[in-house]
Amino acid sequence: MIKNYFKSAAAAMLLAAGSKAQVATLYTFSQQSSVYTSITGGTVFGTTSSDDEVFVDPSITGGGFTGTGVGIPIGFTFMFNNNLYNRIAIQNNGYISFGHSSLSPAVDINTGFAGGISVASTAPAIKQDRVVPFGRDLQAQTGASIRVETIGSVPTRTCVVQWTNYRKFNATGDSYNFQVRLMETTNIVEVAYGTFSNNATSGTAEVGIRGNSNTDFNNRIVNTTNPWNASIPGTANNSAATVNNTLVPASGQSYKWTPAQCSGSFSNLTAIASPTLVCPNYGGTVSVLGTSTLSGITYTWYESDQSAVGNWTLVSGAEAPFFNTPTLVTTHWYQAQVTCINSASSGTTSSAEIQVAGTTTSSVPYFEGFENIPVANVLPNCSWFATGLGTSFQTYIASNTGNRIPRSGNNFAAYTAPTATNFVYTNGIQMEPGITYSAALWYATDFAGSNNWTNLTILIGNAQNVASQVSVTATSPAISGNYKLLSGLFTVPSSGLYYMAIRATGGTAGAPYLMIDDISITIPCTPESGNSPTVTAQGAAQTACFGQPFAVSANGADVYSWSDNSSGSSTVVTPGSLGTNTFVVAGTRTLTGCSSTAAVLVTVFAPPVLNVQANPPVVCQGKSVVLTASGANQYNWSSGGSTSQIVVTPANSTNFVVVGTATNNCTASASVSVTVLPLPSIDGSATRTFICVGESTQLMGSNGDTYIWTASKNSNLLQGGTVTINPSSSDNYTVTGTGSNGCQNTDMVTIVVDECNGIAKTASAAKLNVYPNPTAGEFVIEGLSAGVVEVSDLSGRILLAREVSGPVFRLNISEFSNGVYSVKVGTSVIKLVKE
């Protein structure tokens, strides 16, 4: 950072300290008589003919009519109205005003005005605080002088401002002698009067102290009722003290204004630093927080370059609530011992730290509009450098006179003419070979069109010196009026930090200022820069079908982004509309960040519009369905088949898909669902499956809703879940049952009808006994002799043969179906019914 920054920081503290001060209530007034002691040393200001002049510079003792300047040193830091001051300005007309060396200008006092308290001022509030011992239109005369001297020793010095042998304007016979006395540590303000003579003409003067405006005052009234040794408080800012040939202050008469004084002990003292981060070889300001609102306090500062707890070293001469540190190259800590004179109590503040900033570097893109500088005449960071900073090169935080205005924002910089060739350098900016950079700035002169600014040049180099810099672009002369752009392209030979320099050369006459703003180094993506890649793109074919993927690819760049939000040098896109589709790819060169585009054009055809139907769409299990498709040229069914119509017999509900291909080779698919209903599980039964001729039996169906019975030997139909039949011969009966979903299933029942005239078929069978008959499976034959038992069906096919050896024999035909069988033993045949 820059030294002026810290002066402004101290000024900010001064302003903050007095933001709520009021001299009307802050000070206690007293009046007394003592001995008037004239000073004879110090600096003498003015001449015997001084009139309406001000004194604002110790090197110009003759005075003048310019109300601003560096100020006359007080000799110590004096607190007035809770503001800290070390400079004063003197008005010939009987008063002083306060200022500080950190302010620019340090002091600002009214010129050509008498009064002192009531007169308004255009100066900043911090510079309007005044002490008025005898404010009116005064004039020097033979033997007159204004003298300033600081007397005494630390910490009880006194700054004395003394008017000697002054008179009312154009009066004769007057001799006014008076002083302002400013007392160190206690911060008491005293005005004292010496020999005072007045001619027969009476007059008035304003006497008192004034704050940040003419409505904040603590003044006195003097009249015949209330003489100089018994003055009373003023009621208006222009309340007056009267003088005439008998009403004058006695020599030694004085008025004192005493501010609130310290008493008791201190606790929780805090030291603060501003700023807390500085550039190498610059300093900051440290201050005690809070105690500056009281008088009667002494301060002793200590510093450490080790840590916040010491080792501590005394800072010589630092005896105020704040001080500006010396220049720093390493981090330092500061603390103050604060002592109350009245109670002799003291305390130590916490430590305040000021760090030293490191090197600042940047990367491209780089922009600087000076918007982050805190105060005028500082650079953006510690790594910037400027020749003639604060004089021939200045920075601003607001518009200024002479058409000094920013291009954007509030802040900007300017060269001041007349000037030699001056440079300002940015901090280091990382740059790479193989890239074309653009350096640019905006500049403006005044609106007169003067050509005294003979050259403005942008340069780039690897160091902050003239020898390392190479010109990028220039304008000669720099004539602009309104802001103009100056820019140029450049490359660097190798990777590293480079510094942009701005060189301005001005003459002595013409435009006094050359403003610059909005400095930048960027990577342009213009055709002439060569920073953009050359991107090409192609597709696998030039035609595609709507909604179907299409392969595309690109080359020439490092990173690719397609218009459908996909990425990569190769990708698959899907056309979204019929006709010509354009797929755009943006290719980016990683080194520069620049992009170019290319496009792939694809003609997109419509797919066929398929229609597919099932007839019927709902069938019972085992039934067939006709599927029919239309709208395409060729078909391919998921169940097999390549014609427009196929027949299917699905076992279960099925979704059939057909892919249709149009004459343009685009395809589409469609589907149709066939619902397959389950068959009912029909069961047929009979109360008796073997009956004799003339007997009846009942046929019964189950698991259905309705039933129809048919016989194999006749076409009669019987309906009902239970029907009675009286067949004359054996027959098979089929039951067809219909379920709740309308689907049908069948079952069959066999009824055997016999003449039942006897079961023996031969005479020899009469000796045999077969039981039980009918049987469920096992039966017994009695009356046998040795031989073979054969069981055959009605067709004569022998199903079982067993050799017997006794009169009783058991057989089991439970695995046989129900029906009528023949049991043959020798020549005997017996019919056996299994049920």
Q: Give, in order, the Cα–Cα distances in Å from 165 to each of 102, 162, 246, 278.
A: 34, 10, 18, 51
User: Contact 380/428 with Cβ under 8 angstroms?
Assistant: no
Higher pLDDT, 261 or 662: 662
* The pLDDT of residue 19: 44
Neighbours of 37 (CB within 10 A): 14
Structure tokens at 207: 């006497």
User: What CATH number should be reported for the domain whose range is 683-754?
Assistant: 2.60.40.10
pLDDT at position 832, please?
A: 86
Is the pLDDT at 95 greater than 50, yes or no?
yes
Q: What is the pLDDT of residue 769?
A: 84
> What are the start and end residues of each CATH 2.60.40.10 domain in the chain?
270-356, 536-605, 611-677, 683-754
Choose the CATH number for 270-356 among 3.40.50.300, 3.40.50.720, 2.60.40.10, 3.30.200.20. 2.60.40.10
Q: Residue 584 forms beta bridges with which residues?
A: 599
Give the CATH fold of the 611-677 domain: Immunoglobulin-like (2.60.40)
Q: Would you call the peptide bond into 418 cis, given omega within 30 degrees of 0 as the criterion?
A: yes
In the block, tokens 């060189």 appear at 503
510-525 mean pLDDT: 94
Provide DSSP, 361-401.
Answer: EEESSEEE-STT-SSTT--SSTT-EETTBTTTEEEESS-BT
| DSSP per position, 212-274 | SSTTSEEEEEB-SSS-GGG-EE-SSTT--EEE-SS--PPTTEEEEEEE-B--S---S-EEEEE
0.85 cut: is pTM over it? no
CB-CB contact of 362 with 500 (8 Å) = no
**Domain 536-605: assigned CATH number:** 2.60.40.10
pLDDT confidence of residue 794: 77
49 pLDDT higher than 70: yes
Q: Is the peptide bond before 326 cis (omega within 30 degrees of 0)?
A: no
Q: Which CATH superfamily is domain 361-524 in?
A: Galactose-binding domain-like (2.60.120.260)
Band of residue 690 on the pLDDT scale cut at 50, 70, 90: confident
Q: What is the pLDDT of residues 269-316, one digit of tens each?
A: 999 998 899 999 889 999 998 776 778 888 999 999 999 998 999 999
User: Residue 155, preceding bond cis, omega within 30 degrees?
Assistant: yes
Provide, rounded to the nearest whole percent, the portion of the chain with pLDDT above 70. 95
For residue 237, what are its two tokens?
A: 């800012």
**All CATH 2.60.120.260 domain ranges in the chain, comma separated:** 361-524
pLDDT digits over 403-448, tens only? 899 999 999 999 987 666 889 999 999 999 999 999 999 999 876 6
Helix H or strand E segment including 587: strand 579-588
Q: How large is the average pLDDT for residues 48-67? A: 94
Q: How confident is the model at residue 11 (pLDDT cuts 50, 70, 90)?
A: very low
Give the whole-angstrom CA distance, residue 449 versus residue 481: 6
pLDDT-derived band at 761, boundaries 50, 70, 90: very low
The contacts of residue 279 (CB under 8 Å, 6+ apart) are 1, 2, 356, 357, 381, 382
Instruction: Summarize pLDDT for 529-570 with one digit per residue, the tens.
Output: 999 999 999 987 788 888 888 899 999 999 999 998 999 999
Question: Please, what is the average pLDDT of the chain?
Answer: 90
The number of residues in the chain equals 835
Q: Answer for the pair 554, 623: CB distance below 8 angstroms, yes or no.
A: no
Q: What is the amino acid identity at position 40?
A: T
Per DSSP, the three-state class of 764 is helix
The amino acid occupying position 66 is T
More confident residue, 481 or 1: 481
β-pairing, 203-210 with 241-243?
antiparallel
Chain centroid to CA 693: how far? 105
Q: Report d(CA 585, CA 674) in Å as an integer.
A: 47
Amino acid (1-letter code) at residue 628? T
Q: Which pLDDT score, from 0 to 100, does residue 396 have?
A: 96
Q: Give per-residue pLDDT as tens, 134-156.
A: 999 999 999 999 999 999 999 89
Whose tokens are 């004058």? That residue is 248
pLDDT computed for residue 282 by the predictor:
87
Closest CA to 503 of 420, 564, 580: 420
Q: Which residues are registered as beta bridge partners of 725? A: 697
Q: How confident is the model at residue 18 (pLDDT cuts 50, 70, 90)?
A: very low
CB 165 within 8 A of CB 177: yes
Please tell me whether residue 657 adopts helix, strand or coil conformation.
Answer: strand
Task: State the pLDDT at residue 449.
Answer: 72
CA 363 vs. chain centroid, Å, equals 21
3-state secondary structure of 468: helix
pLDDT in tens, 578-627: 999 899 999 999 999 999 999 999 999 999 999 999 999 999 999 999 99
How many angstroms from the chain centroid is the CA of residue 169? 68
What CATH code would you report for 763-834? 2.60.40.3080
Q: Which pLDDT score is estimated for 766?
A: 53
Q: What is the mean pLDDT of residues 778-786?
A: 84
